Amino acid sequence: MNKKTGGLAGLIVGDTAISTVGKEGLDLTYRGYSIHDLASESTFEEVAYLLIYGALPNKTQLIDYKKKLISLRELPAELKSILEKLPANTNPMDVLRTGCSALGCFEPESQQFHQQDIADKLIACVPGILLYWYHFHQNGKSISTTCNEDTIAGYFLYLLRGSKPNEEQRRAVDVSLILYAEHEFNASTFAARVTTSTESDFYSAIVSGIGTLRGPLHGGANEAAMELVSQFKTPDEAEKGIRALLEKKAKIMGFGHRVYKISDPRSDIIKKWSKALSANAKDGYLYAVSERIEKIMWDEKHLFPNLDFYSATTYHFCGIPTQLFTPLFVMSRLSGWSAHIIEQREDNRLIRPEANYIGPEPRAYIPLIDRG
Ligand code: ACO
């Protein structure tokens, strides 16, 4: 791998008015608003509206937007039938990839379904797609995907458990959705923009994003971080285990970042939620385990936790199964992907870079009969 061009590191490949990441090495803003203000003052619905429609909603706009999202929660019967036919052991990210793609067959982008309506529909019904499939295969139940919980976080937790969520957990998930919503030209957003640049449809761009987010170097890291943290019962055990992994040159999931050089500004916000929730969790010791891993990673490698690291225990302490962590990332990032698809279309040019060829020089063709 050519260190200079590998992974497009450090290359500016386009303009955006949606977010800034890592200016001065550490900040994050969505349409000019600091992530700290958004996470403490806003709800995910306000942030999704900000990203997709370009401005924070006023009170009436927010009420109408929430009503719209609630009204879009029903899934087409044919989509439920597809979800029922998927294997019980399907990776939940594949369920979302398939579910969004299938929805694009039933409600394709058209005069009737405009881009912002599709964005809203996907944000509204992706929790239902995931949890309809989950309950059908885990518990043999066909759940109703409609309910009056008026936030996406509350809706997700309600569908997961079938009862009204506890407010602390609901807000923790709400804040995590705000933090995961948008991150400039990250791999999945870039994939969505590349697909958009060919003048493909909205759903295809979203499906590209989901497929790209799935990997452990990107969205899949929150699940991988949970698997790592849950191996240890005490901080001392964790220290020994992490040192052994570093010795073997293993990657520690949930650490490091391509753009941030000092810290991930989202990490301290979600870390506070992990700490607060650990107080009432049966395995709350995992917070102390995580803190020790953070210390060792800093002491040994000068690497800091990214958003995925403490999101893992935050979700775990809310009683969310690990296999649903990366799908939660999708539920949130749908808003950022949608904003970027809309922005790409406003001033589109086909995204088509060039490669540095390192293969053989031109040579004579060998007919099949002469090949050994
Ligand atoms: N654990 C151990 N070492 C690491 C880690 C890590 N998590 N991250 C980076 N390093 C080391 C690399 O081994 C490399 O060392 P070397 O120069 O001696 O070979 C050096 O730091 C640079 O790392 P790269 O992988 O080249 O950095 P890159 O910018 O390509 O990757 C990435 C960034 C993918 C996030 C990387 O840090 C990583 O794999 N982290 C773990 C996965 C993860 O947490 N992903 C989530 C990203 S954030 C998000 O999606 C919300």
358 inside domain: no
| SS3 readout for the chain | CCCCCHHHCCCCCCCCCCEEECHHHCCEEECCEEHHHHHHHCCHHHHHHHHHHCCCCCHHHHHHHHHHHHHCCCCCHHHHHHHHHCCCCCCHHHHHHHHHHHHHHHCCCCCCCCHHHHHHHHHHHHHHHHHHHHHHHHHCCCCCCCCCCCCHHHHHHHHHHCCCCCHHHHHHHHHHHHHHCCCCCCHHHHHHHHHHHCCCCHHHHHHHHHHHHCCCCCCCHHHHHHHHHCCCCCHHHHHHHHHHHHHCCCCCCCECCCCCCCCCHHHHHHHHHHHHHHCCCCCCHHHHHHHHHHHHHHHHHCCCECHHHHHHHHHHHCCCCHHHHHHHHHHHHHHHHHHHHHHHHHCCCCCCCCCCCCCCCCCCCCCHHHCC
For ligand 1, the distance from its centroid to the CA atom of residue 257, given in whole angstroms, is: 6
Q: 115 with 248, same domain?
A: no
Range of the domain at 340: 16-213+324-346
Residue 187 lies in a domain: yes
Tell whether ligand 1 has an atom less than 6 A from the beta carbon of residue 217.
yes
Q: Kindly state whether residue 194 falls inside one of the protein's structural domains.
A: yes
CATH number at residue 49: 1.10.580.10
Tell me, yes or no, whether 149 lies in a domain: yes
366, part of any domain: no
Ligand 1 site, residue 7, Cβ cutoff 6 A? yes
- Alpha carbons 70 and 113: distance in angstroms, whole number: 17
Report the candidate in 357, 288, 360, 287 with the shortest Cα–Cα distance to residue 317.
287
Is residue 275 domain-shared with residue 329, that is, in the same domain?
no
Q: 151 and 225 share a domain?
A: no
Please report the atom of ligand 1 found closest to the CA of residue 9.
Answer: 29
Do 302 and 197 share a domain, yes or no? no
What is the spatial distance between Cα 47 and Cα 182, in angstroms, rounded to a whole number?
A: 9
Report CA(251)–ligand 1 centroid distance (Å): 7
| Any atom of ligand 1 within 6 Å of the Cβ of 336 | no
Q: How far is the CA of 306 from the centre of ligand 1 (A)?
A: 10
2 in any annotated domain? no
Question: Do 264 and 257 touch, CB atoms closer than 8 A?
Answer: yes
Domain check: are 72 and 151 in the same one? yes
Cα(256) to centroid of ligand 1, in Å?
5
Residue 70 shares a structural domain with residue 186: yes
Residue 332 has phi, psi (to 5 degrees) of -85, -50
Q: Which pLDDT tens digits describe the chain residue by residue (372 residues)?
A: 565 568 898 899 999 999 999 877 668 999 999 999 999 999 999 999 999 999 999 999 999 999 999 999 999 999 999 999 999 999 999 999 999 999 999 999 998 889 999 999 999 999 999 999 999 999 999 999 999 999 999 999 999 999 999 999 999 999 999 999 999 999 999 999 999 999 999 999 999 999 999 999 999 999 999 999 999 999 999 999 999 999 999 999 999 999 998 899 999 999 999 999 999 999 999 999 999 999 999 999 999 999 999 999 999 999 999 999 999 999 999 999 999 999 999 999 999 999 999 999 999 999 999 998
| Residues 181, 50 share a domain | yes
Best residue among 251, 252, 310 to mutate for probing ligand 1's pocket (most ligand atoms within 8 Å of CB) is: 251
Q: Are strands 28-30 and 33-34 parallel, antiparallel or unpaired?
A: antiparallel
pLDDT the model gives residue 112: 85
What CATH number should be reported for the domain holding residue 254?
1.10.230.10
Is 308 an annotated catalytic residue?
A: yes
Q: What is the CA radius of gyration of the chain?
A: 22
- Considering only CA atoms, which residue is closest to atom 35 of ligand 1? 257
Residue 6 belongs to a domain = no
Q: Does the residue 193 lie in any domain?
A: yes
Same domain, 131 and 208: yes
Q: Is 218 known to be catalytic?
A: yes
Report the domain count for the chain.
2
Q: Are residues 115 and 39 in the same domain?
A: yes
Say if residue 246 is in the same domain as residue 189.
no
State whether 168 and 109 are in the same domain.
yes
Is there a single domain that holds both residue 151 and residue 300? no
